[in-house]
Amino acid sequence: MQLVTGQPLRKIIQTRVLEPVGMRDSCFLVPQSKLHQLSTYYRLMRDPVKGNRWLERLDGLKAKDSMYAKGSQAVYRSGGLPAGVPAAGGLWGAGRSTMLFSLRDILLYCQMLLNGGQSLAGHRVLKASTASSLQMDWLRLKEACRTRNPPGWGSPDVGWSPLGNVERYGPHAGALYMGGMSYFWLDPRRKVAAAIMTESYWQVNPLGWKADLDDLEQVIQSAMKGTSSKRQAESQDGSLAKRLKC
C-alpha cells in the first residue's frame, strides 16, 4: 500500500479508515491525554490442585507504566521473550506493533461493514461488494481455495476471511470474529455486532461470571428482544398518530 500510494502506512490507515469511520480513539501508542482510558490487563489464574482463582496484573501498576503508553520503554515478556499484552477494557490491542481500539471504535467499524461499507456518518469507506466479500468464508470460494479444509487448517467448523474467522454451523453460522483476549464479533445475517473486552471462552469463567449478563448468545437475544419491542412500540405510536390525524 505504501508503494502504491507513496504514503506511510499509518497515514493511509488514518485517512482512509479511521477518519471516515469516526474511529477517534484508535492508535498505535496511547498519548498522555488518553492514558486514563487505557485499562490494565489482568490474567485470570487458577490453581489446578486447589481450584483457587485470582487475578494477576501484567501491564504495570499505573497507566504510565504500560508498554502502550507513548514514549514508554516498558516491554512485557512472556517466556522470556518480548510479547504484546491484550488489554481488558477502554483501549485495547494485541501486541506492541498493532493498533489499540476502544469499544466505540470497534463497533463503528463493525457497523460500517454491516452497512455495506458505509460509515454511520455517511462516508463511503469500502465498496458494498468489498464489504460483503470480507464477511464471507473464503475457504468456500473456489477462486480462493480448492478445499474447505486445506492442509494445516485447524477446524472444519470454522472458515476464514481476511478479517478473521467465520462460524460455519450452529446458531452463529456466518458470524465473523477475530481477536485474542479481546475481539470483535458480528453477524451479517442478524445485523448484530459485539465487541468483547475480556475473552473467557478459552479459559475458566472469569470471577463474577453471570450467564444471563455475560453469555454472548443470551446477551444478543436479550438485545434483539429489546430492539424488537422498541420498534413495535414505535410502530404502534405511528399508527395511533395517523388515526388521530384522521
- Proportion of the chain in helix, strand, coil states, percent, rounded to 5: 35, 20, 50
| 56 closest CA partner among 99, 88, 79 | 88
pLDDT at 244 over 70: no
**pLDDT level of residue 197 (50, 70, 90 thresholds):** low
pLDDT in tens, 92-125: 444 445 678 888 898 999 999 999 999 999 999 9
| CA dihedral sign, ordered 64, 68, 72, 76 | positive
pLDDT in tens, 130-159: 999 999 999 888 777 777 777 777 788 888
Instruction: Give the whole-number percent of the chain exceeding pLDDT 70.
Output: 70
DSSP string, 61-95: SSGGGSTTBTT-----EETTEE------SBBB-SS
Q: What pTM value is reported for the model?
A: 0.74
Instruction: Give the whole-number percent of the chain exceeding pLDDT 90.
Output: 19
Please state, in angstroms and rounded to a whole number, the distance separating the CA atoms of residues 181 and 201: 9
**pLDDT level of residue 233 (50, 70, 90 thresholds):** low
Average pLDDT over residues 11-33: 90
DSSP string, 106-129: HHHHHHHHHTTSB-TTS-B-S-HH
**pLDDT level of residue 214 (50, 70, 90 thresholds):** low
Which of the two residues, 190 and 43, has the higher pLDDT score? 190
The pLDDT value recorded for residue 196 is 73
Task: Output phi, psi for 166, to 5 deg.
Answer: -125, 125
Q: Answer left, alpha or beta for residue 143, where phi above 0 means left and psi between -120 and 50 means alpha.
A: alpha
For 20, the enclosing helix (H) or strand (E) is helix 19-21
| CA dihedral sign, ordered 130, 132, 134, 137 | negative
Which of the two residues, 211 and 151, has the higher pLDDT score? 151
Please state, in angstroms and rounded to a whole number, the distance separating the CA atoms of residues 39 and 69: 11
| CA dihedral sign, ordered 193, 194, 195, 201 | negative
| CA dihedral sign, ordered 27, 111, 88, 83 | negative
| CA dihedral sign, ordered 129, 186, 164, 76 | positive
Average pLDDT over residues 51-72: 78
Q: DSSP code of 173? A: T
The pLDDT value recorded for residue 127 is 96
Q: Tell me if 10 sits within 8 A of 26, measured CB to CB.
A: no
The pLDDT value recorded for residue 206 is 55
